[in-house]
Amino acid sequence: MNDGTLIAWLNDLGSDDVAQVGGKNASLGEMIRHLGAEGVRVPGGFATTAQAYRQFLAENALEPRIRELAQAFEQNERPLSEVGEQIRALFLDAEIPAVLADAVQEAYQALA
């Protein structure tokens, strides 16, 4: 899989793709590949990639803010519940980059 890919189809994934799409998505790919031939129906689909996540973080300048919050927790300056709430708020307030939104919409249309 190309590192610049934002979307990956599950049927193209396998155990070698964990770093790019996570363990659950890679496992779904493995199931589609190996169990489909046995007659087990595993629904297809797509996953957003680690590259898509990194792009989301970068375009919203989230990494330094998350790092700052995590350090505040590690230094016992803020409780975990507060830090978690603030990090969730950062994600909820962030904008999905247009290129990622387009890629998801195109994949969803292809899936439908």
Q: What are the 10-residue block averages of pLDDT along the chain, 112 residues in total? A: 80 95 95 86 92 97 98 97 98 97 96 87
Spatial contact of 70 and 27, defined as CB atoms under 8 Å apart: no
According to the model, what pLDDT value does residue 42 have?
85
4 with 48, same domain? yes
Q: How many domains, the chain? A: 2
Residues 34-40: contacts with CB within 8 Å, 24+ apart? none
According to the model, what pLDDT value does residue 43 have?
86
- Residue among 32, 51, 54 nearest 43 (CA): 32
1 with 48, same domain? yes
According to the model, what pLDDT value does residue 49 have?
97
45 with 65, same domain? no
87 with 71, same domain? yes
User: In angstroms, rounded to a whole number, what is the distance separating the alpha carbons of residues 97 and 22?
Assistant: 21
According to the model, what pLDDT value does residue 41 have?
86
What CATH number does residue 48 fall under? 3.30.1490.20
According to the model, what pLDDT value does residue 3 have?
55
106 with 81, same domain? no
Report pTM: 0.84
Spatial contact of 19 and 5, defined as CB atoms under 8 Å apart: no
Q: Which domain holds residue 1?
A: 1-52+98-112
